[in-house]
Amino acid sequence: MKNDHQLTPSRRREIEREMEAFEEKERRNLGLPTEETIHFIDPSNPHFEKSDRGTTTILLGGLTIAQDVLIQAALEALGYRIEPLPCPGNEDLQLGKEFGNRGQCNPTYFTVGSLLRKLIALREGGMSTDDIIAQYVFLTAGACGPCRFGTYATEYRKALRDSGFEGFRVLLFQQQGGLKQAAGFGSGIEFSPRFFTQIIRALIAGDLLNAIGYRIRPYEITHGQTDETLERCKEILGTALRDRSSLLMALRRCRKELNRIEVDRLQSKPKVMIIGEFWAMTTEGAGNYHLQRFLESEGAEVEIQFVTSWLLYMLWQNRYDIRRRIGLRSQDTRSKGLAGRNGRFQIVRLYAAEQCLKIMFRTMAHAIGLQRCHLPDMDTMAGQADSYYDVELRGGEGHMEVGKVIDSVSGRRSHMIISVKPFGCMPSSGVSDGIQTAVISRFPEAIFCPVETSGDGDVNFQSRVLMHLFKARNQANEEFRGELRKRGLTLDEAHRRISKSQRKATYFPPHTCAGLGANVVATL
């Protein structure tokens, strides 16, 4: 018998036909489909032209509820039709899993499920599929990195095809693209300085509303008053952005509204900082098991992360990379290693952009009354994290997640740190479950709780959080009682010493320790 490598081409083809016939026969016997598998091919980027702008609604979402609403107002002022998707829930997760590939992480399932639920509701309401495809587009963020984030847009398009919306336009906004976005938008969205200014103003305003809400809500005397006030503030800020009137005046009006809230800050509450994967720590719904409100229901004060910090991080990355590339003379013969551009001038421009962003943030924070707000310094953050995590490794929040933990513990800014990420998130899991172990070994006093979300494990998730929160609560109580003893005060005496200005909802004491109540006592 001849060896396989001695078979003639005709005999090889004959064997292949016999194997195909055998496979088809066995498939019929087993009841398996016999037709040829057609693999999904991501279509070329669909265009959204300027002529479509007046008749096409842009669907977006993925940030906090306040920021989605304010971005809607900001872009409507520029002539766009915007509709934010609601914060996704468990029904969206199930819908996303029904039409999504296996092994995706939660942000994909939740987001595509929320999008599909919106489109299905339009179809069930009497709108034809062709009209939906013609009159709606979805704008989502994209980036390159060591995880599945870069494939999200393809997953969205596949799920849309499988659910009957083939051809629905998914537009990808590259986080690092800036004014020069990749092809695929057409002229429907003009990425101009005015466009980005409106977006940044809305993002900062949302950051400030969220931060001041989490500061006030745990100490409100009348339950629900803070949420009611924040809704009025969203309307005030949304009107200012939509009418392109003075945003600072609107923020001052919000401060007056907020100061009508009655608060009692002389309480011992553990302060819990939430960090981790961007979507998981930012969402306010089922995607992280309503983590922020769960912590508040358990008597904690929540410290959230600013989207503004993420913008500063991206600017820092570009500045750092340019500084590294300038010296690549042997590898890149172009001018200063930057394809004919003046690298040092680019660094100056990026540094100026960082400073402008910080000034804008501080000015708006002052207007709304967000006192002593801590915006991280990216150079300091990189220096703190460098010995644990190489700052040239990218993905997720990179070294910034490490720097946040070191800054919080060494600066006594919180009693407990929760690192939350979707199940299987590679960049964040590598940091929170790996690198942070070395960090915590250096700071054994830290209460660090890494948790993962899968969409259906809320009991285990919350039980793990509660175990760590018990230790944080004891630490906060000891800190609060220690400050009272140091001042020689009883709690009743401390209440009598509180001044009128310290009773304002927007008042925030100087920082001496982690707990807000202990910091108030320290001023008496």
Q: Which residues face 418 on adjacent strands? A: 274, 449
183 pLDDT tier (thresholds 50, 70, 90): very low
User: Residue 21: is its pLDDT beyond 90?
Assistant: no
In this prediction, residues 216-231 reach a mean pLDDT of 97
Query: Could you give phi then psi for residue 83, rounded to 5 degrees?
Result: -140, 115
Residue 272 parent element (H or E): strand 271-276
Q: What is the pLDDT of residues 91-132, one digit of tens each?
A: 999 998 888 877 777 888 899 999 999 999 999 999 999 999
- What does the pLDDT read at residue 30? 79
pLDDT at 175: 52
Using CA atoms, how far apart are residues 137 and 46, in angstroms rounded to an integer? 10
More confident site: 12 or 263: 263
Least confident of 54-63, 181-190, 256-265: 181-190
Q: Which of 109, 75, 77 is nearest to 90 (CA)?
A: 109
Range name among 77-81, 98-102, 126-130, 399-403 with the lowest pLDDT average? 98-102
CB atoms < 10 A from the CB of 497, how many?
Answer: 15
Question: At CA 462, angle to CA 274 and CA 101, rounded to 5?
Answer: 85
Give the per-residue pLDDT at 339: 63
Q: Tokens 């590339």 appear where?
A: 325
Question: What integer pLDDT is reported at residue 1 of this predicted model?
Answer: 46
Beta-strand pair 271-276/81-84: unpaired
Mean pLDDT confidence for 244-249: 95
pLDDT surpasses 50 at 179: no
DSSP summary character for residue 36: P
- Residue 170 dihedral angles phi and psi, to the nearest 5°: -115, 115
Q: Which amino acid is at 431?
A: V
Cα–Cα distance for residue pair 162/59, rounded to 1 Å: 20
pLDDT reported for residue 475:
95
Average pLDDT (30-49) is 70
Print burial letters for 474-484: b (CB count within 10 Å at least 16), e (below 16): ebbbebbeebb
Residue 6, token pair as written in the block: 């001695």
Q: Please say whether the beta carbons of 476 and 268 come within 8 A.
A: yes
Share of the chain above pLDDT 90, in %: 51
* CA–CA distance, 158 with 164 (Å, rounded to integer): 10
* pLDDT value of position 5: 55
Query: Diameter of the chain by CA atoms?
Result: 103
Task: Give kind and range of the element (H or E) at residue 140.
Answer: strand 136-142
Over pLDDT 70: what percentage of the chain?
87
pLDDT of residue 181: 45
∠ CA 287-288-292, nearest 5°, is 130
Q: Is residue 448 a contact partner of residue 436, using CB atoms and an 8 Å limit?
A: yes
DSSP state, 432? I
Q: What's the mean pLDDT in 469-492?
A: 95
Tell me the β-bridge partners of 286.
Answer: none
pLDDT greater at residue 121 or residue 340: 121
Structure tokens given for 319: 């500045």
The predicted pLDDT at position 167 comes to 87
Model confidence at 44: pLDDT above 70:
no
Using DSSP's 3-state secondary structure scheme, residue 60 falls into strand
Q: What is the mean pLDDT of residues 437-441?
A: 84
Distances (CA, A) of 132 to 50, 173, 460: 18, 21, 40
Residue 233: pLDDT band (50, 70, 90) is very high
Beta strand 271-276 pairing with 136-142: unpaired
What pLDDT was estimated at residue 344?
Answer: 82
pTM of structure? 0.86
Tell me which residue of 190, 105, 183, 111 sits closest to 149, measured CA to CA: 105
Q: Is the pLDDT of residue 3 over 60?
A: no
pLDDT at 449 over 80: yes
- Which of 520, 523, 524 has its CA nearest to residue 480? 520
Q: What is the pLDDT of residues 269-303, one digit of tens each?
A: 999 999 988 888 999 989 999 999 999 999 999 99
Q: What's at 151, amino acid-wise?
A: T
Contact assessment for residue 155 and residue 101, using Cβ atoms and an 8 Å cutoff: yes
**Would you say residue 45 has pLDDT above 80?**
no
Asked if pLDDT for residue 178 goes beyond 70, the answer is: no
Residue among 22, 492, 513 nearest 270 (CA):
513
Which tokens hold the place of 292?
A: 């922020």
Q: What is the mean pLDDT of residues 234-247?
A: 96
Supply the pLDDT for residue 23. Answer: 84
Which tokens is 149 given? Answer: 């984030």
* Of 451, 455, 462, 429, nearest in space to 88 by CA: 455
- What pLDDT is recorded for position 430? 67
What's the pLDDT at 394?
76
User: What's the pLDDT at 508?
Assistant: 94
What pLDDT does 152 receive? 74
Query: In Å, how far from its chain's centre is CA 316?
Result: 18
Least confident of 46-60, 343-357, 359-373, 417-431: 417-431
| 384 residue type, one letter | Q
**Residue 153 pLDDT grade (very low, low, confident, very high; cuts 50, 70, 90):** confident
- pLDDT recorded at residue 180: 47
Whole-number Å distance between alpha carbons of 17 and 371? 76
Cα-based distances in Å from 447 to 272, 425, 465: 10, 22, 11
The average confidence (pLDDT) of the chain is: 86
Counts of helices then strands in the chain (DSSP H, E)? 20, 8
Name the nearest CA neighbour of 435 among 454, 453, 448. 448
- Residue 417 is classified by DSSP as E
